[in-house]
Amino acid sequence: MKKDELKIAGRKPGSGRKPGSGTFREETSVMRVPNSQKPVIADFLEAYARKQRLHELKDDLDAVDAFAQPILAAESISLPLYESKVPAGLPSPADSDIEEQLDLYQYLIANTDDTFFITIQGESMIEVGLMPGDKAIVQKRKQPALGDIVLAMIDGEFTVKTLARQSNGLPKLLPANSSGRYSPILIQSRMEFQIWGVVTGSFRKF
């Protein structure tokens, strides 16, 4: 075979998978292992790949903190709801302006058994009003829809983002911060992904 024919038959320069683009984000090599140890090694490599993915997503996850269950109050808590808008600094409205009594518990929580609170960390969702330290209300059994703010778990880490869909049909999670500091999280088939609930509201204490 001539030299030119060898070049054609051989591997072309630059062909094949680019280094660092595979599951483990680095160059790999072939090795022989005992068949009895293949499941053990496969589990280890999957855990290693998950660690690599989490490292890449670290800046975009903006993990949540402090899961808590609501405590049902013994008595309903109702406060006046005024029908007129009151600018800050002006005198309090008169009793005649009271439209109704607002039960804060019923307003915030639809079902005690179906609801829990989380504490927001980071600033990836500030443009939908979720600030660091805010308590977000999560409804576990509410069916998530595209455009909902959801509490999602990715490879064992929790994050709050807006649910959307990629062109291939898989989910993606969108931040609400136009600073460019946070990127959409594209869910891939090899990721462990689960939606734990839909965020239905939030509150904060000044």
Does 166 score more than 80 pLDDT? yes
SS3 52: helix
Counting residues of the chain whose pLDDT is more than 90, the rounded percentage is 38
Strands (E), the chain: 65-68, 78-82, 98-103, 115-119, 135-139, 149-154, 157-165, 171-174, 185-186, 193-203
- CB count in 10 Å sphere of residue 61: 22
pLDDT tens-digit series, residues 132-142:
999 999 999 99
Judge contact between 150 and 195, C-beta under 8 A: yes
Q: Which fold has domain 60-70+110-203?
A: Umud Fragment, subunit A (2.10.109)
Q: Hey, which residues are catalytic here?
A: 124, 161
Domain boundaries, the chain: 60-70+110-203, 73-108
CA 131 to each of CA 102, 109, 127, 188: distance values in angstroms, whole numbers, following the listed order: 25, 20, 9, 28
Return the pLDDT at 123.
93
93-138 pLDDT tens trace? 555 556 677 788 888 888 888 999 999 999 999 999 999 999 999 9
